Amino acid sequence: MLAAGGLLGAVPAFGQPRRPHILWRNGWNLNNIGDIGHVPGALALLKRYVPEARVTLWANNDLVFRGDLAKAAGFDDGTVDAGRIHRRIMPDMGLVTGKVDAQGRGDNPALEAAVASADIMVIGSGAGVLEAAALNAFRRRTGQPTGMFGITTDPFNFTYFEAGSADREALQQANFVFTREWTSLRVLAGQDVDGPGGAQADDPATPVNEAINRVAVSLPGMRSRPAFVPDTTFAFTARDDAAALAWMQAQGLTAGRFACFVPRYRWTPYTTPTRQGNSRAVYNALYTRADHSKLQAAIVDYVRATGHHVAIVPETVQVVGQLDALLKDGLPPDVAAKVVTMDRYWLPDMAASLFARATVVVSIENHSPILAAAAGTPFVMVHQPEDSFKSDMFTDIGLGDWHIRDVGRASGADVSRAVMGIVREPAAARRKLARAMTQVETRHRAGMLTLRRTLGLR
C-alpha cells in the first residue's frame, strides 16, 4: 500500500497527473567501472519500462573524480565526471548525496527533499543490501514501499543476517527483492550453498585464513517472494566510440583482431581488514602470480593461434600501473610483442566501445564480462572464491561454459580451452550470447513490471 499523500490520486497544479518519483540508491563507488556501470543500466531500464517516472539517483558521492582517486586514475583533478554517462541516458535524472538519520531525515536540503517526495526507494545492483539502515529509515518515515533490484546476499563477506540486523529487517519488509544470482535465493531460503566443508577449506600451512564458509540463512515472514533479476549493468547501452577508437589507433589494434584481458587481486588492496585476516597484501601475495599465470596461458595460446593482439585493461583503479606486472611480465618475447596495456583508468562507456570491437573478453573481474555481453561480445569469466558468489549469474543465464568458478582449482589449460572455443567458433559464440541476453532482458522486464505494479501503475 502507498502511504496517504503518495502517488495514487495525487494531482498537482495545472491538473497534470503527478509523476511518480523513484529514489534509486546506487552509485557505490567510482573506483571500478562496474559500480559506475550499474547506474546507466538501471536508468536505461527505468526509461524503457517506467517512462512516466521522475528518477533521483542517491549516490555515495557527486560522481566527479577528485583528489587521490583522480590521481590514481590518471585524471586531472575534477575534470572527469562519471555522471555524464548517466545523464546521457536520462538527462533529467536528479542526483543527491549524503546520509539520513534513524528517523529518515536527510543531512542536506537536496536529500531531504528527495526522501520526502519519493514514492519508492530502491537499492540498485551491488554486493549486498548495502544501505539497509537507510532503506528502513525511509520506509518508517514515509510509509512508502521499498525494493531491491539485482543484489547479492552473500553471508560470507558482504551481507550479514544476525538477528535484529538492519539487513534482515530491510529484506523482510521490502515490497520486492530481486537477487542477481540464484545462489542468493538459495541463501535466503535457508539452504547451505557451500556444503559442510565450505567453498574453500583453510590450509594450515599458509599464514592466512583461507576458509570460506557460509552459514545457511532463513528469513521467515518476508513480505515478498524473492526472485532472480540479473545485474543492471547487463542493460548498459552507453558508448564512447571516439575514445576507444583513438586508443585502438594509438596501440595499433584492429577491430575483430584483438582480445581483452582483465586482472584482479583476490582482495582489493585497501587497508581495511577482511573476514580472512587483517592483511590484504599478505593474502594477495599468496595467489596473485598463480592466478594470473593461468590467464597468461590463454594469452600465449590466443596470440600464437591467431597472430592477433591482446589488450590488458583495468576494471578498477587499483590495478592501474600494475597491468604489466600482473599479466605481461614473464610472457614469451614473441607473445609479449603482441600485448598492449592501458596506462590509465577509463569509464565504462569507453570500455563497452572497446569490448564491442574485441573478439573475446577474458576477466577475473565480474563486470567487464557483463559490459562485454551488453556490447555483444563473448567472454570468459574466471572467478576467485573471495569475490562472493556473484559470478554464478553467468551460469544462471546459460553461459556456464564461459564461467570458470574457481581459479584456484582450474588450470591455465582450462582457461585457454574456454577462450579458444569462442575464438574458433565466433558465430556460434555470438548466437549463444544472444540467447543468454534474451533471458536477461526477460528477467529485467519482469522486475521492472513489478516495480510498476508496486507504484500502482498499469
State yes or no: pLDDT of 6 exceeds 70: no
pLDDT of residue 17: 78
14 falls in which pLDDT band (50, 70, 90)?
Answer: low
Please give the average per-residue pLDDT across 92-96, as a whole number: 97
Beta bridge partners of 340: 311
Quote the pLDDT of residue 7.
43
- Residue 4: per-residue pLDDT: 35
Q: Which of 11-25, 154-168, 186-200, 270-284 is predicted least confidently?
A: 11-25
Mean pLDDT of 407-423: 97
| CA dist., res. 443 & res. 445, Å (int) | 5
Distance CA 70, CA 372 (A): 25
DSSP state, 328? I
DSSP 327: I
Q: What is the pLDDT of residue 274?
A: 84
CB 339 within 8 Å of CB 312: yes
Q: Is the pLDDT of residue 15 over 70?
A: no
Q: Which single residue is written with the C-alpha cell 557505490?
A: 28
Phi, psi for residue 248 in degrees, rounded to 5: -60, -45
Residue 271 has pLDDT above 70, yes or no: yes
Cα separation, 345 vs 35, whole angstroms? 14
Question: Which whole number is the average pLDDT over 58-68?
Answer: 97
Whether the Cβ atoms of residue 129 and residue 148 lie closer than 8 Å to each other: yes
Q: What is the pLDDT of residue 182?
A: 96
Q: Tell the residue number behind the cell numbers 528527495, with chain if given.
A: 114
DSSP letters, 31-71, are: SBHHHHHHHHHHHHHHHHH-TT-EEEEE-SS-SB--HHHHH
pLDDT tens-digit map of 300-356: 999 999 999 999 999 999 999 999 999 999 999 999 999 999 999 999 999 999 999
Residue 5's pLDDT is 37
DSSP state, residue 76: P
Instruction: Give burial (CB, 10 Å; 0-12/13-18/19+) of 237.
Output: middle
Gap between the Cα atoms of 275 and 259, Å rounded: 35
Q: 183: closest CA among 415, 408, 450, 392?
A: 392
Structural domains for the chain = 19-234+440-454 (3.40.50), 238-424 (3.40.50.2000)
Integer CA distances (angstroms), 388 to 168, 183, 356, 384, in order? 19, 10, 27, 8
How far is CA 382 from each of CA 19, 30, 390, 403, 411, rounded to the nearest angstrom? 43, 23, 12, 6, 11
pLDDT value of residue 81: 98
* Residue 12, pLDDT above cutoff 70: no
| CA–CA dist 280, 136 (Å, integer) | 32
Query: What residues contact 436, with CB distance under 8 A and at least 6 apart?
Result: 373, 397, 398, 399
Q: What is the pLDDT of residue 221?
A: 85
Contact by Cβ (8 Å): 171, 223? no
Q: Angle at which helices 426-454 and 33-49 pack, to 10 degrees?
A: 60
Q: Residue 240: pLDDT band by 50, 70, 90 thresholds?
A: very high
* Residue pLDDT, tens place only, 351-393: 999 999 999 999 999 999 999 999 999 999 999 999 999 999 9
Helix axes 367-374, 33-49, angle to 10 degrees: 40
Q: Of 314, 343, 318, give the one whose Cα is nearest residue 251.
A: 343
Whole-prediction pTM? 0.94
In 112-182, the DSSP E strands lie at 120-123, 146-151, 176-179
What whole-number distance in Å separates Cα of residue 23 and Cα of residue 210? 39
pLDDT for the residue 301? 98
State the average pLDDT over residues 114-127: 97
User: Does position 420 have pLDDT exceeding 80, yes or no?
Assistant: yes
Pick the closest to residue 3 from 164, 189, 141, 167 (CA basis). 141
Instruction: Tell me: pLDDT of 111 over 60.
Output: yes
First to last CA, the chain: 15
